[in-house]
A and B are shown apart, each in its own frame.
Chain A
Amino acid sequence: AQTVTQSQPEMSVQEAETVTLSCTYDTSENNYYLFWYKQPPSRQMILVIRQEAYKQQNATENRFSVNFQKAAKSFSLKISDSQLGDTAMYFCAFMKPSFTSGTYKYIFGTGTRLKVLA
């Protein structure tokens, strides 16, 4: 069974600094997707970034980028120029397409609570 591990329950970073959140996963699959979601105090789950396993190039979305190491099964999120609005819980998620049912089930990590300090 696939598992997703986020080993940092809490982190903090000074405003304008860079922070990296770690995520490791366990799978025997070759075709899958990885995601980072942000959950601010409003509790809304917001997609931050997505990575397809078959792509070697790391995904980037503005100040957010990932370091995807497929062999090491590692998927870390780097936030550059941290802003107060980045304060949130961040969840890493793994998704493997199921072609038998056509569904796409996610497995989430337990989250990292990030606090950006002024």
Chain B
Amino acid sequence: DAGITQSPRHKVTETGTPVTLRCHQTENHRYMYWYRQDPGHGLRLIHYSYGVKDTDKGEVSDGYSVSRSKTEDFLLTLESATSSQTSVYFCAISRTQETQYFGPGTRLLVL
């Protein structure tokens, strides 16, 4: 298995509070991705990174920001959580045109 961990694995928070999810890899892969998974939508890309401090938006980026200050860590921040951001969040990594490998996911509930 690819060395990808996500923290926390589960989180319950209240509307309006900031939340940060962390993705950590030990593979030294250049590319990292954040997805959200919702019923009826499959996985949708939020943000991605193609290098340290190099990030870009995906298809559902509104309400989310990311940062990547070092190769191994990719942080996803919900500045002010809303109930519509209740979801399962997956991090993924890839080397070049290689397959994306996924982390175990984080279940986030916004009350």
Please say whether chains A and B are actual partners in one complex.
Answer: yes
A positions within 8 Å CB-CB of B: 4, 33, 35, 37, 43-45, 47, 50, 91, 93, 95, 97, 101-106, 108-111
A44 to B1, CA, bound (A): 11
Consensus secondary structure, chain A interface: strand
Consensus secondary structure, chain B interface: strand
Interface residues of B in 59-111 (CB under 8 A from A): 88, 90, 92, 94, 96-97, 99-102, 104-105
Closest B residue to A111 by CB, please name it.
Answer: B42
Residue of B40, B92, B97 most packed against chain A (CB within 10 A): B97
Question: What are the residues of chain B within 8 A of A50 when measuring CB–CB?
Answer: 99
Contact B90 A45 (CB under 8 A): yes
Contact A104 B104 (CB under 8 A): no
* B44 close to chain A: CB less than 8 A: yes
Question: What are the residues of chain B within 8 A of A91 when measuring CB–CB?
Answer: 42-43
Q: Which of B40, B43, B97 contacts A104 (CB 8 A)?
A: B97
Contact B42 A105 (CB under 8 A): no
Sample 23 A-B pairs with CB under 8 A, ordered by A number.
A35-B99, A37-B102, A43-B104, A44-B102, A45-B90, A45-B92, A47-B99, A47-B101, A91-B43, A97-B97, A101-B50, A101-B56, A103-B56, A104-B31, A104-B97, A104-B100, A105-B45, A106-B43, A106-B45, A108-B43, A108-B44, A109-B42, A110-B42
B positions within 8 Å CB-CB of A: 31, 33, 40-45, 48, 50, 56, 58, 88, 90, 92, 94, 96-97, 99-102, 104-105
Residue of A44, A104, A109 most packed against chain B (CB within 10 A): A104
Contact A105 B58 (CB under 8 A): yes
Contact B94 A104 (CB under 8 A): yes
- Besides A43-B88, A93-B43, A106-B33, 5 other A-B contacts (C-beta < 8 A): A44-B105, A50-B99, A103-B48, A104-B96, A110-B41
